[in-house]
Amino acid sequence: MCAAREGRWGRRQRALLCCVLVAVWEAACGQLRYSVPEELPKGSFVGDLAKDLALQLAALRDRGARILDRGRTRYFALHANSGHLVTAERLDREQLCEGMQRCVLRCEVIVEGEMKVYEIEVEITDINDNAPSFREAEKELRMSETSAPGSRFPLVEARDPDVGVNSLQSYELSGDEHFSLSVQAGADGEKRPELVLAKALDREEAAFHELVLRAMDGGEPSRTGTARIRVSVLDANDNAPVFSQAVYAVRVPEDVPVDSTLLILTATDADEGLNGDVMYSFKKITDKSLKIFYLDSDVGSIKLVRSLDFEEGDSYEMEVQAHDGGGLFDTATISISVTDVNDNAPELTVSSALSEISEDAPSGTVVALLHVQDRDSGANGEVRCSLAGDVPFRLRSSVGSYYSVVTARELDREEVSAYNVTVWASDGGSPSLRSSAVLALRVLDVNDNAPVFAEARYSARLPENNAEGALVLTVRAWDADWGQNARVRYRLAEGRVRGAPLSSYVSVQAETGALYALRSFDYEEVREVGLWVRAEDGGAPALSSNVSVRLLIVDENDNAPQVLYPPAAAAAAAGAGWTGVELAPRSAEPGALVAKVVAVDADAGQNAWLSYELAKATEPGLFRVGLHSGEVRTARSPLARDAPRHSLVVVVKDQGRPALSATATLTVVLAESVAELLSELGSAAAPAEPAGSLTRWLVLAVAAVSCLFLAFLLLLLALRLRRWRRSQLLPPASGALRGVPASHFVGIDGVRAFLHSYSHEVSLTADSRKSQRRWAADSCCNTLPARPPPDKAAPLLGEDAAGARGAPPDALPQAQPNTDWRFSQTQRPGTSGSQNGEEGGAWPNNQFDTEMLQAMILASANEAADGNSTLGGSTGTMGLSARYGPQFTLQHVPDYRQNVYIPGSTATLTNAAGKSNAKGSSGGNKKKSGKKEKEKK
């Protein structure tokens, strides 16, 4: 007994294990099965979907699980919080699966995150919710009184939409002893009640018999349905109607029009009169068929009252009864088969789809999940799917009637940024029907393209001396990507130019690519700048590309020619340009080379092409200059009348626009030997100062003298007051001014020092007879001693020294110094020396006048060295008239003739002559010195 129990327990375990394995296998195959009874209220539990699919509740929500709805009635819903599958409405098995023994509803659950579809089958089990019912609650039967006992008469059948034990199980009859009930089992298993005549009828006893037929099912509790049967007893009718066929079978297409006659029944009755009139009626027909077909009771034709649909029903079977007026009848079976017509296009449903995909998605990425079905059957229901156009996608068959749209290759957003993928579903009918669905897919950009410059290399020409910040050129780069990945920024690569960072020369605007010059370029320093510009996009990681930029500095004429020969002289500092001395023999032939001017230009090209021309010459036509060589040649043979010294000014020009030039000054001496050349150079005077420069200095001197004149007036007034006050307090000082030894007046330097010291330390008064002299020992310590040596007196030279001309310096007695140091108004320096009146004032103590006096004394010394007996071209002019005009005479300078001693010469300074840069003579001031010369003569 224990062994038997263990065997039963083992069998149960094996059975349970088999059930579990079947459930696991079905779940792995993507199909789940549940069973629920009908008539459950909305929201009733069907199954734990999350558990059966082995999904966590959070994953179930995140991955977007849902019930697919393809336009049909939704019977189930997925509860997102619990993961349970529940009913979406009340389920009636008889309504959903009429006439079917097994009622199964199917639905699909899609998990969008996994792009998976699970098929679910829910079996609706029957409950005893329907009682058996008769199509006719009351039925009248007509029987002849001659009917033999044992005759059978078919009764109306009861119908119970339930199945199994809940369906119709038995019939009962009650009400009369003349009749009994017989239930026959049909070939399809149905129970067919028949009324059996148990006792002969007699119309005279009873013309009518009332019966009750009861139908019962097997449910718990059992349900019943009843029908009342009234039997009318008739007179004798010995011929029953007869159908031409026992079974009528017809095949009609599903697209047959409504009101079409499908079949005409034929039944004949040999009787005459009322007993021969045949009437037709449905004996057995379903409610569904009764709504589709109509039977004409008089003619026996069956018409279509509603469109047929092969997908709803492919065959219909019913029984028709033909009966005459005497109550006799015949029964025939009608079978109507519906043939399928390709009247349903395939249904293409997008169950799940992506709206955007990255362009670097790998091949085989699922972008959409499609469901396709065709309600037709056979070849009409065979569906083929395809993609329209040449697109980088393909179809892949999935579970059941599902298809996946996957990428066939890598995408490129730069080629196509968006796709409208059309999926076609075509059936196998003739003609074929098809439907389509469009998938809109946008391709997301990935930074897979580096910026590309518009040109392979850039070059620009930039004139030198450009303005700082000048635009040089603009580089352009495009990126085929989109958005931030296509945003291009520019920057300079590292580099150096002449040892300095490249960024100090040029810069690039990061957004526009404009290249600017940060400094002014000089062609002579930098002729070419090579650099690299990098364009970088805004992707992560960023991509970049480089382009070379070549800047050519264009030369401009900004450098004047530079004269290398003749070499620079001291006169260049004073504006005389270049100077040189060249020797040309007087016997030179025309075209003889005298000199060559050599010049260079720092510019390049046309700006450095030099040309030479003779701008100025002492003797025009004697010399010429080569246009391109700069060679100075004689244009003709020198003549005896030609001056020995010639000054040539050669202009050197470049070919720039505008042209720049420089000058070179050559001094050509016509001499046969070097000794003659040196003699000519020794007899030449110092170079003359340009008139323009002298005029400028004279204007400045006049302005300075005018300003100082007013200051000296105030100063003299103060001194006069001071002396007057001192004279009131102290006795007048007496004594002669001690002279300066003659040994200190040696050479021109001594003269210059003497004039320098006395121009600063001699004070003049308005009254020449009462001159006050004050000596400052510290101011002349380098030139003259404050007192002469005690062994030899050296008084100052007096103003009257005309008698001392021609005597040796040591034999001439020194004249007494002139005590009248004052000048009258007509003898004072300046342009207003002709005014009358007598004013007190001192000689202007300024550097300009001192240097002018030094220059005049030096020029006088040069004339004395040449052997002239007197200095100056004319008496009393000191040689100034030739340079400054006749208006400048000795009346404008102080008379220092008595104080100057020139060694090696017997001449004395009679009228303080002067020569600066040119020789000349004119009439001078003869008011004092002239008188003294006459008295001496």
Reported as a single tens digit per residue, the pLDDT across 728-763 is 775 554 443 344 343 333 333 433 433 343 333 333
Q: Which two tokens stand for residue 146?
A: 């001659």
User: How far apart are the C-alpha atoms of 724 and 399, rounded to whole Å?
Assistant: 140
Contact by Cβ (8 Å): 741, 756: no
Across the range 573-586, mean pLDDT stands at 62
Q: What's residue 343's pLDDT?
A: 85
The per-residue pLDDT for range 401-430, each reduced to its tens digit, is: 889 999 999 999 989 999 999 999 999 988
pLDDT score of 894 more than 60: no
Q: Which two tokens stand for residue 92?
A: 């009636």
Q: What's residue 235's pLDDT?
A: 66
The per-residue pLDDT for range 635-656, each reduced to its tens digit, is: 999 988 888 889 999 999 999 8
Contact by Cβ (8 Å): 924, 877: yes
Contact by Cβ (8 Å): 688, 603: no
User: How far apart are the C-alpha atoms of 418 and 420, rounded to whole Å?
Assistant: 7
Closest CA to 150 of 195, 191, 184, 192: 195
pLDDT score of 474 more than 50: yes
Contact by Cβ (8 Å): 60, 52: no
User: How far apart are the C-alpha atoms of 140 and 523, rounded to whole Å?
Assistant: 130
b/e map 257-288, b = 16+ CB within 10 Å: eeeeebbebebebebeeebbebebebbbbbee
Closest CA to 858 of 844, 870, 873, 871: 871
Across the range 656-667, mean pLDDT stands at 91
pLDDT score of 704 more than 50: yes
Contact by Cβ (8 Å): 595, 563: no
Across the range 312-339, mean pLDDT stands at 90
Tell me the DSSP string of 415-476: T-SEEEEEEEEEESSSS--EEEEEEEEEEEP-S----EESSSEEEEEEESSPPTTEEEEE--
User: How far apart are the C-alpha atoms of 735 and 772, rounded to whole Å?
Assistant: 12
Closest CA to 554 of 465, 464, 460: 464
- How many Cβ atoms from other residues are within 10 Å of residue 832's Cβ? 13
Q: What's residue 730's pLDDT?
A: 56
Query: 590: helix, coil or strand?
Result: coil
Average predicted confidence (pLDDT) for the chain: 75
Q: Which two tokens stand for residue 905?
A: 């010469």
User: How far apart are the C-alpha atoms of 355 and 439, rounded to whole Å?
Assistant: 8
Closest CA to 575 of 701, 684, 689, 696: 689
* H or E stretch at 372: strand 366-373
Q: What's residue 578's pLDDT?
A: 43
In one letter, which amino acid is 302?
Answer: I
Contact by Cβ (8 Å): 508, 533: yes
Q: Which two tokens stand for residue 746?
A: 């040696």
In one letter, which amino acid is 751?
Answer: V
The per-residue pLDDT for range 895-921, each reduced to its tens digit, is: 434 333 344 444 444 443 333 333 333
Query: 25: helix, coil or strand?
Result: helix
Across the range 310-328, mean pLDDT stands at 88
Q: What's residue 322's pLDDT?
A: 93
User: How far apart are the C-alpha atoms of 510 and 491, rounded to whole Å?
Assistant: 6
Where residue 499 falls (left for φ over 0; alpha for ψ -120 to 50; beta otherwise) is left
pLDDT score of 930 more than 60: no
pLDDT score of 863 more than 90: no
Q: Phi, psi (5° rounding) for residue 741?
A: -60, 145
Contact by Cβ (8 Å): 127, 161: no
Average the pLDDT over each of 142-151, 373-382, 563-572, 598-607 and give the range with the smallest value: 563-572
580 band by pLDDT with thresholds 50, 70 and 90 = low
User: How far apart are the C-alpha atoms of 922 and 872, rounded to whole Å?
Assistant: 9
The per-residue pLDDT for range 66-90, each reduced to its tens digit, is: 887 666 788 888 887 888 889 988 8
Q: What's residue 872's pLDDT?
A: 37
Q: Which two tokens stand for residue 627?
A: 């246009």
Q: What's residue 731's pLDDT?
A: 53
Q: How remote is the C-alpha of 496 from its chain's centroid?
A: 27
- How many Cβ atoms from other residues are within 10 Å of residue 490's Cβ? 23
User: How far apart are the C-alpha atoms of 423 and 410, rounded to whole Å?
Assistant: 20
Across the range 889-895, mean pLDDT stands at 40
172 strand-pairing partners: 214
Q: What's residue 271's pLDDT?
A: 76
pLDDT score of 371 more than 80: yes
Contact by Cβ (8 Å): 636, 621: yes
Strand locations in 751-833, DSSP E? none
* Better-predicted residue by pLDDT, 223 or 760: 223
Q: What's residue 49's pLDDT?
A: 83
User: How far apart are the C-alpha atoms of 501 and 441, rounded to whole Å?
Assistant: 51
Q: What's residue 69's pLDDT?
A: 67
Three-point CA angle 497, 502, 507, nearest 5°: 140
Rg of the chain over Cα atoms, rounded to whole angstroms, equals 73
267 band by pLDDT with thresholds 50, 70 and 90 = very high
N-terminal to C-terminal alpha carbon distance within the chain? 192
pLDDT score of 120 more than 80: yes
DSSP conformation class of 608: G
Q: Give the whole-number percent of the chain exceeding pLDDT 70.
A: 71
Across the range 578-589, mean pLDDT stands at 78
* Better-predicted residue by pLDDT, 339 or 834: 339
Q: Which residues contact 78 (CB under 8 A, 6 or more apart)?
A: 49, 65, 66, 67, 84, 85, 86, 109
pLDDT score of 138 more than 60: yes
User: How far apart are the C-alpha atoms of 526 and 641, rounded to whole Å?
Assistant: 55
Closest CA to 109 of 97, 127, 121: 121
Q: What's residue 167's pLDDT?
A: 87
User: How far apart are the C-alpha atoms of 195 and 172, rounded to whole Å?
Assistant: 11
Q: What's residue 688's pLDDT?
A: 47
Q: What's residue 569's pLDDT?
A: 55
The per-residue pLDDT for range 777-836, each reduced to its tens digit, is: 443 333 333 334 444 443 333 333 333 333 333 333 334 444 443 334 344 333 333 333
279 strand-pairing partners: 323
Tell me the DSSP string of 328-342: -EEEEEEEEEEEP-S
- How many Cβ atoms from other residues are within 10 Å of residue 553's Cβ? 21
Describe the chain by its helix, strand, coil percentages, rounded to 5: 20, 30, 45
Q: How remote is the C-alpha of 739 from its chain's centroid?
A: 95
Q: Which two tokens stand for residue 525?
A: 């320093």
* Better-predicted residue by pLDDT, 204 or 293: 293
Where residue 747 falls (left for φ over 0; alpha for ψ -120 to 50; beta otherwise) is left
- How many Cβ atoms from other residues are within 10 Å of residue 510's Cβ? 12
Across the range 373-383, mean pLDDT stands at 88
531 strand-pairing partners: 549
User: How far apart are the C-alpha atoms of 730 and 725, rounded to whole Å?
Assistant: 9
207 strand-pairing partners: none
Task: Tell me: cis bond preceding 809? Omega within 30 of 0 counts.
Answer: no
User: How far apart are the C-alpha atoms of 323 and 232, rounded to whole Å?
Assistant: 15
Average the pLDDT over each of 48-52, 130-134, 486-490 and give the range with the smallest value: 48-52
User: How far apart are the C-alpha atoms of 824 and 838, rounded to whole Å?
Assistant: 6
